[in-house]
Amino acid sequence: MRLAELSERSGVSLATIKYYLREGLLQPGHRISATTADYDDSHLRRLRLVRAMIQVGKVPVATVREVLRHVDDDSLGRTIRLGAALWALPQDPETDDEDEDEVTAAARGEVDRLLEMLGWSTARELGALSPVHRSLVVAVATLMRLGYAWDAELMAPYAELMHQAAMRDLDFVETHPSEAEKVETAVAATILFEPVLKALRRLAQEEESARRYGLA
């Protein structure tokens, strides 16, 4: 397809597509002549991913470029490739080991105990290397400072539910044929599905509250 058709099918303006091309967020088309290039479904798929990151995830262009670098690195195995891409996404506030206080240390202990209880060996091995692990420590420490006795036992049922969600995520990823599509889909799902999960949780809370306490 030509650039105009790519714009029409993706809903992205020509000017924006050209900007993405200049910034390296979209691979150049297959050159037909000095002034004409042809684009295929991989470009359409990549445009959707870039739009998800920039428009929904509010990810800066420089970060999008970094994420895509990992997505396109076919020298990595799928787990490392996907992990690197997801770690490159903006994270929630993290801990600074040099400034760690007693509460943060206690939170870290509960997170590590949770991972041991669940048998999540990969998460345990990565530990402080993972920005997601560090973000969880900060969240638990915040709860503790506010007087909520949040510990591994309280987190475990939620973590098990999230494991079920992760299995669903990867089942969906597996429906795509190529490695690039699998990783792209996983990154897009991380950004696009989280608002859905948040909304579903709140709807479920409303429903359960009504069932328990009525609507009065």
Over residues 29-86, the pLDDT tens digits come to 888 887 788 999 889 988 988 988 888 888 889 888 988 888 888 887 777 777 777 7
Q: Where does a domain end: 87, 118, 137? A: 87
Q: Where does a domain end: 71, 87, 103? A: 87
Q: What's the helix, strand, coil split of the chain in %, to 5?
A: 70, 0, 25
Q: How many domains does the chain have?
A: 2
The predicted-structure confidence for 94-108, as pLDDT tens digits, reads as follows 555 556 789 999 999
Angle at alpha carbon of residue 138, lines to 79 and 195, rounded to 5°: 60
d(CA 4, CA 137): 48
Structure tokens at 57: 């995830």
Q: Are residues 66 and 152 in the same domain?
A: no
Q: Where does a domain end: 68, 87, 106? A: 87
d(CA 117, CA 77): 27
What's the half-sphere exposure (Cβ side, CA atoms, 13 Å) at 162? 11
CATH number of domain containing 19 = 1.10.1660.10
Structure tokens at 80: 């490392």
Q: Are residues 97 and 197 in the same domain?
A: yes
Q: Are residues 117 and 176 in the same domain?
A: yes
**Parent domain of 39:** 3-87
pTM: 0.74
